[in-house]
């Protein structure tokens, strides 16, 4: 039993080690004028599978999103934000996002 458990732990750990490197994208976003805008954008991003972190900066008019590239991409993220009423375009892409 102990060997099986250790084998499962090792397999899970190796899976994490081999998983895709998270990608990050910074989007320029229009029409962000108040704190409610950031809430709307965050809720829209919650619907995207693979989004692991998000930061909305209303003053800079940017949204920074970390995501799993095997589950989504920068274009899909920009579309969700745009569909929420805030036209978004890729400003900076890091890690090949």
Identify the CATH number of the domain in which residue 68 sits: 3.30.70.100
Residue 36 belongs to some domain of the structure: yes
Report the number of distinct structural domains present in the chain: 1
Global pTM value: 0.74
Higher pLDDT, 4 or 55: 55
Residue 20 belongs to some domain of the structure: no
Q: Report the alpha-carbon distance of residue 33 to residue 18 in Å, rounded.
A: 41
Predicted confidence (pLDDT) per residue in 40-69, tens digit: 999 999 999 999 999 999 999 999 999 999
Residue 26 belongs to some domain of the structure: no
Q: At 86, is the pLDDT very low, low, confident or very high (cuts 50, 70, 90)? A: very high
Residue 59 belongs to some domain of the structure: yes
Higher pLDDT, 44 or 22: 44
Q: Is the pLDDT of residue 17 over 50?
A: no
| Cα 84–Cα 69–Cα 73 angle in degrees, nearest 5 | 30
pLDDT computed for residue 53 by the predictor: 96
Closest C-alpha to 40, from 88, 73, 5: 88
- Record the tokens describing residue 34, joined without a space: 């108040």
Q: Report whether 93 contacts 22 (CB < 8 A).
A: no
Residue 22 belongs to some domain of the structure: no
Closest C-alpha to 77, from 39, 44, 43: 44
């Amino acid at each position: 039993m102990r060997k099986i458990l250790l084998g499962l732990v090792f397999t899970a750990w190796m899976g994490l080690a081999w998983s895709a490197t998270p990608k990050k994208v910074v989007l320029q976003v229009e029409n962000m004028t108040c704190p409610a805008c950031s809430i709307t954008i965050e809720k829209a991003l919650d619907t995207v599978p693979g989004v692991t972190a998000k930061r909305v900066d209303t003053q800079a008019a940017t949204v920074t999103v970390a995501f799993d590239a095997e589950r989504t991409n920068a274009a899909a993220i920009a579309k969700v934000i745009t569909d929420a009423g805030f036209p978004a375009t890729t400003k900076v892409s890091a890690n090949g996002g």
